[in-house]
Amino acid sequence: MAKTYTVAKGDTLGKIARAQLGDAKLAVMLADFNGLPDLNQIFVGQRILLPTAKEQRPTAAAPAAPRAAVAWPAPPHGFQAVRDTFGDILAYLADDGGIDPKWEAERITRAALPFPIPLAWNTAQNATAIRCHKLLAPLLEEVFRQIESQGLKGAVRTYGGGYVFRPKRNGVKPSTHSWGIAIDLNPNTNAMGSAGDMDPRLVALFEEHGFTWGGRWSGGNKDPMHFQYCSGY
């Protein structure tokens, strides 16, 4: 399983960072990784995720847009950078724990797919577009154009979803799906915690465009169906 730490009485993020990561100065990074906007927002019994050394480092920036007049932001690293790039989702939280409709109206759109993909929960129906963040739509459209042009359509068997406001599975911080910067593919054979069977050519294509593949995560957090356009979160 991925490493976690349960907050005890008297703990601070600085103490946890020093004991678990070897450096109290990593407290800010630890808060960011756990989606905590404030270093003091911890409580006894809270489960803190401990990033690996690799997860503490940003991934390489996405390549320049290959098509004229089309651009997208570089993949951000960490919670604050995701908020800075794609919007402060915390400012849109409703009193009931849901999301203000203004969030979707201002941030979310549909990226057209060049070929239909069967829905994982109902293969008799197809997805023809992906709900995603407005800034990411051109990139997703380009990735799927390349999937088609490189003969990889067969590697995309089912579509498991794009934008949806929810917490991370096995956690409380917002999922990257909440920003519309993540998609799930072939979920029926790529369950969380499993090795899955995602085509390595498909993984390579997404990674070349700046996506992080959940299949490289460890333990119970391993998520081979999942591709997200950020790292360190």
Q: For 18-62, what is each residue's pLDDT tens digit?
A: 898 888 888 888 888 887 777 777 888 888 878 877 777 665 544
Q: Quickly state the pLDDT bin for 70 (edges 50, 70, 90).
A: low
Read off the pTM: 0.77
Average pLDDT, whole number, for the chain? 88
User: Is the pLDDT reported for residue 187 higher than 50?
Assistant: yes
Of 198 and 69, more confident: 198
Asked whether residue 95 is domain-assigned, the answer is yes
Cα–Cα distance measured from residue 85 to residue 87, given in angstroms and rounded to the nearest whole number: 6
- Where among 26, 56, 86 does a domain terminate? 56
How many domains in the chain?
A: 2
Asked whether residue 26 is domain-assigned, the answer is yes
Q: What is the CA radius of gyration of the chain?
A: 18
Lowest mean pLDDT segment, chosen from 64-78, 84-98, 108-122, 185-199: 64-78
Average pLDDT over residues 162-188: 87
Contact (Cβ atoms closer than 8 angstroms) between residue 134 and residue 109: yes
What's the pLDDT tens digit per position in 20-32?
888 888 888 888 8
Counting Cβ atoms within 10 Å, is residue 183 exposed (0-12), middle (13-18) or buried (19+)? Answer: buried
What are the residues whose beta carbons fall under 8 Å from the beta carbon of 116, sequence distance 6 or more? 126, 127, 128
Contact (Cβ atoms closer than 8 angstroms) between residue 179 and residue 86: yes
81 and 8 in a common domain: no
166 and 80 in a common domain: yes
Domain membership of residue 178 as a residue range: 58-228
